[in-house]
Amino acid sequence: MPVKVLTGNHAVAEAVRLSRVKVIAAYPITPQTTIMEKLSEMADKGVLDARVLRVESEHSALAAAYAAASAGARAFTATSSHGLLYMHEVVWWAAGSRIPLVMAVVTRAIGPPWNIHVDHQDIMDQRDTGWIIGIAQENQEVLDMTIQAFRISEDPRVYLPVMIGLDGFILSHTSAPVDIPSQDEVDAWLPPRRQPYVITPESKIVMGNISDDDEHFMMRYSMHVAMNEAKRVIKEVDESYGKTFGRSYGGLLECYKCEDADYAILLAGSWAGDAKTAVEMLRSEGYKVGVIRIRFIRPWPREELLEIASRLKGIIVFDRAVSMGSTGILLGEVSSTLYSTKISIRGTIAGLTGVDVGPEAFYTQAKEFIEKVEQQGHVYEPLHWLLPPRYRRRGKPGKIERAEVVM
Amino acid sequence: MQQPIIEEPRTYFKAPLSTPQPGSAGVTGAWRVKKPVVDPDKCTGCQICWLYCPEDTIIILDTGKVTVEYEYCKGCGICAEVCPFNAIKMVDEGGA
Amino acid sequence: MEDLLEIRFHGRGGQGAVTAANILADAAVREGKYAQAFPHFGAERRGAPVVAFARISTKPIEVHSRIERPDIVVVLDSMLFELVDVTSGLKRGGILVANSKRNPGIEGDYKVYCVDATGIAMRKGLVVSGWPVVNTVMLGALSKATGIVSLDSLAEVISSRFPEDVAKRNIDAMKSAAESVHTC
């Protein structure tokens, strides 16, 4: 298995090639575009036997990929930020149709103003749509998770589409070593495509025709049943992948240095690496801290989190997306999961709109939280804003401020 | 292209699928206020009405000319509108 | 070698600073190390000052935040010394490798190396659309000045990425830079 230095986006493309995807449809958007460019190049060179469709919008991109999947092709699309919002209607329809499909989402802030940098607002906005949603930490995991996504999506216990999140620029445009499995190995591990039905001119099936409200209700319920089954399938697939390729990630979540931990930093995405570095700093000072890295926000790892939390005094959640008027998205999930426990929780909104958060910030925030819990016994602070460094000193804004536009 | 395997779901599964067949929405012929009547002398068998009928209720006869399946025809009048030869008239339900 | 080395490249859009960071990371990985390379996250414009980054480590690299305190700075274009504060954040005792015949006025507790990369690029025929392309030349100087990766590993990466004749000219130029780089 050769190790190559690849960007996160090229890792996605390699995974799509190895998964023998037959139809790819996408519309360019930074920072997704290089996934599509690479796949087009592969198809052009003949190393990828797929139809690459250039469509006129993201709405059409997913409609085309999902139609091809309905007709029996292993299909793929990729997008980001505004593109994902534009396809949001079809995101619901693809999941509701129960057709296996995989999409890469290169996470990026949403405007206004225009901003191409990372946050999780776009992918978190999809959390109720019925897609299985994974978020990777490293380029290697991006490749592994994308290959796994096809197997999860096409499992007859699941039959739901899967979205793979990778952080814009921080993974998508960063080169790092990636171990690329051989085609033979992937062929042996990834079963032929399975799906619940195929729509062809001969099949005489109509998807989405008007139905009875009770029937529609039961379709929603059946998607939820499939999501619950997906929890087991994701774990099985992760373990099976580990046996074949030597890399397992822990299923729905990864618990880093949790064995003896009293506290944990909980988050999703590439900045978990920075949090792990902060854990080393904290541990060198005697603070027993671990990292709970959420790998799948849907299905939500409720049972795993409850089990881990039973051994902890406190969890500090870092959210790269906020539900304005409420709290961070992960904080809401964590709070409802741990409602019946006595654990201390703090929710921190940070790293929105590409604002950099490094090990120092995690170290300082976690330490402050731990000290507070140790002094007060129990803390529940659902909404704590970690403002950008130059705004931390100024304090809370009090009057109308006009943004400084930087060209 | 290699065909996928169609495999039954292994959990409770309900997808929004239907198989279109005559009358799957009930006897929609009862919805009519007016009904289309084809004048066989004027009908040239161009079958444009067949192409346009949203309910697939135009029947093509052996002669190539058309008639209407009144059990499901909703009386929308599109066939009469598109007929280039004025061979279809919309007639009050009670009257004709 | 330190556990983790952080390197910042300064160039101008089109000079190949991002490619330099990528080649460096690739060479380090071929030597069994871990590495990361990334551009400045933004729109790229030909001629405008740009930066690119690399991390090299003996251990897997988990950090993804920006590089604020580099160990090494490489400057691909001598015009940048007037435009950009190239030593910003550079650690005390850090290394600066400059495309310049003589010290471009760098003061402070740094080790400064100079190489006439533009001259070498012109002599070795590394000119694209009238622009001397100095990225591989600067990597030769960086290799000699710091030893973070070997010239052989760099040559291996260059051979794998470019057509044979282009690779040969780049490798020649890189070696020539390694011979002529000097403290300044």
C12-29 confidence digits (pLDDT tens): 888 889 999 999 999 999
Q: Minimal Cα distance from B10: which residue of A? A: A157
Q: In terms of residue numbers, what domain contains C136?
A: 4-183
- Rounded to an integer, the average pLDDT of A18-34 is 97
Q: Residue A280 is part of a domain; what is its CATH number? A: 3.40.50.920
- Rounded to an integer, the average pLDDT of A20-42 is 97
pLDDT at residue C83, rounded to an integer: 87
pLDDT digits 0-9 by tens, C139-177: 999 999 999 999 999 999 999 999 999 999 999 999 999
- Whether residues A259 and A385 fall in one domain: yes
pLDDT digits 0-9 by tens, C123-144: 999 988 888 899 999 999 999 9
- C-alpha dihedral sign at A230, A232, A234, A237: negative
Q: Among A195, A213, A245, identify where a domain stops.
A: A245
pLDDT digits 0-9 by tens, A273-304: 999 999 999 999 999 999 999 999 999 999 99
Burial of C101 per CB tally in 10 Å (0-12, 13-18, 19+):
middle
| Token digits of residue A318 | 């870092």
Residue A404 within a domain: no
pLDDT at C48 over 90: no
pLDDT at residue C180, rounded to an integer: 96
- Nearest Cβ partner of B16 from A193, A198, A219? A219
Q: Minimal Cα distance from A407: which residue of C? A: C43
Residue A403 within a domain: no
pLDDT at residue B28, rounded to an integer: 87
Q: Which residues of C touch A277 (CB under 8 A)?
A: 62-63
Residues 302-361 in A contacting C (C-alpha not used; CB under 8 Å): 354, 356-359
CA–CA separation, A354 vs A352, rounded Å?
A: 6
pLDDT at residue A403, rounded to an integer: 64
Does residue C41 sit in helix, strand or coil? coil
- Rounded to an integer, the average pLDDT of A244-250 is 97
Q: Does A262 touch chain C (CB under 8 A)?
A: no
Q: Does C153 touch chain A (CB under 8 A)?
A: no
| Token digits of residue A372 | 């507070």
- Whether residues A267 and A193 fall in one domain: no
- Nearest Cβ partner of C39 from A3, A173, A176? A173
Q: Minimal Cα distance from A357: which residue of C? A: C65
Q: What is the residue whose two structure tokens read 């161009």?
A: B46
pLDDT at residue C43, rounded to an integer: 66
Q: Which residues of A touch B14 (CB under 8 A)?
A: 215, 218-219, 221-222
CA torsion A110→A111→A115→A116, rounded to 10°? 40
Which residues have CB under 8 Å from B1's CB, separation 6+?
Answer: A22, A72, A73
pLDDT at residue A397, rounded to an integer: 62
- Nearest Cβ partner of B15 from A22, A196, A221? A196
- Whether residues A220 and A291 fall in one domain: no
- Is residue A178 within 8 Å of A140, Cβ to Cβ? yes
Subunits that touch chain B (at least 3 Cβ pairs < 8 angstroms)? A
> Residue A89's pLDDT band (boundaries 50, 70, 90)?
very high
- Rounded to an integer, the average pLDDT of A26-51 is 97
- Rounded to an integer, the average pLDDT of C94-101 is 96
Q: Minimal Cα distance from A23: which residue of B? A: B1
- Nearest Cβ partner of A229 from B2, B3, B11? B11
Does C have 3 or more CB contacts under 8 Å with B? no
> What's the Cα-to-Cα distance from A373 to each of A145, A381, A403, B26, C39, rounded to whole Å?
36, 11, 37, 66, 40
CA–CA separation, A32 vs A20, rounded Å?
A: 20
pLDDT at C120 over 50: yes
- Rounded to an integer, the average pLDDT of C107-126 is 95
CA–CA separation, C135 vs C67, rounded Å?
A: 20
Q: Which residues of C touch A276 (CB under 8 A)?
A: 62
- C-alpha dihedral sign at A42, A134, A138, C14: positive
- Whether residues A237 and A257 fall in one domain: no
Identify from A3, A4, A5 which residue to disrupt to test chain C contact, counting C C-beta atoms within 10 A and taking the largest count: A5
- Rounded to an integer, the average pLDDT of A140-155 is 98
- C-alpha dihedral sign at A284, A285, A289, A293: negative
pLDDT at B94 over 80: no
pLDDT at residue A112, rounded to an integer: 95
Identify from A66, A93, A202, A209 which residue to disrupt to test chain B contact, counting B C-beta atoms within 10 A and taking the largest count: A209
Beta bridge partners of A134: A164, A296
pLDDT at A76 over 60: yes
Long-range pairs for A212-219: beta carbons < 8 A, 24 or more residues apart:
A215/B14, A216/B16, A218/B14, A219/A96, A219/B14, A219/B15, A219/B16
Number of domains within chain C: 1
Q: Does A388 touch chain C (CB under 8 A)?
A: no
pTM: 0.91
pLDDT at A405 over 80: no
Q: Residue C18 is part of a domain; what is its CATH number? A: 3.40.920.10
User: Could you give the percent of chain A with pLDDT greater than 90?
Assistant: 92
Residue A82 within a domain: yes
Burial of A76 per CB tally in 10 Å (0-12, 13-18, 19+):
buried
pLDDT at residue A399, rounded to an integer: 65
Say if the Cβ atoms of A219 and B15 lie within 8 Å.
yes
Around B84, how many Cα atoms within 13 Å sit in the side-chain half-sphere? 6
Average pLDDT, chain A: 95
Say if the Cβ atoms of C64 and A167 lie within 8 Å.
yes
- Rounded to an integer, the average pLDDT of B63-92 is 96
Q: In terms of residue numbers, what domain contains A331?
A: 253-392
pLDDT at residue B4, rounded to an integer: 87
CA–CA separation, A110 vs A126, rounded Å?
A: 13
Average pLDDT, chain B: 91
Distance between B50 CA and the closest CA of chain A, angstroms: 19
- Nearest Cβ partner of A174 from C29, C38, C68? C38
Q: What is the 3-state secondary structure (H, E, C) of chain A?
A: CCEEEEEHHHHHHHHHHHCCCCEEEECCCCCCHHHHHHHHHHHHHCCCCCEEEECCCHHHHHHHHHHHHHCCCCEEEEECHHHHHHCHHHHHHHHHCCCCCEEEEEECCCCCCCCCCCCCHHHHCCCCCCCEEEECCCHHHHHHHHHHHHHHHCCCCCCCCEEEEEECCCCCCCEEEEECCCHHHHHHHCCCCEECCCCCCCCCCEECCCCCHHHHHHHHHHHHHHHHHHHHHHHHHHHHHHHHHCCCCCCCEEEECCCCCCEEEEECCCCHHHHHHHHHHHHHCCCCEEEEEECEEECCCHHHHHHHHCCCCEEEEEECCECCCCCEHHHHHHHHHCCCCCCEEEEEECCHHHCCCCHHHHHHHHHHHHHHHHHHCCCEEEEEECCCHHHHCCCCCCCCCCCCCCC
- Whether residues A171 and A263 fall in one domain: no
> Residue A191's pLDDT band (boundaries 50, 70, 90)?
very high
Q: Does B26 touch chain A (CB under 8 A)?
A: no
Q: Which residues of C touch A170 (CB under 8 A)?
A: 38, 41, 64
- Whether residues A94 and A191 fall in one domain: yes
Q: Does A176 touch chain C (CB under 8 A)?
A: yes
pLDDT at residue B24, rounded to an integer: 76
- ipTM of this predicted complex? 0.90
Distance between A181 CA and the closest CA of chain B, angstroms: 23
- Whether residues A277 and A298 fall in one domain: yes
Assigned CATH topology for domain B36-92 = Alpha-Beta Plaits (3.30.70)
> Residue B96's pLDDT band (boundaries 50, 70, 90)?
very low
Range in A127-131, A349-353, C82-86 the model is least confident about = C82-86
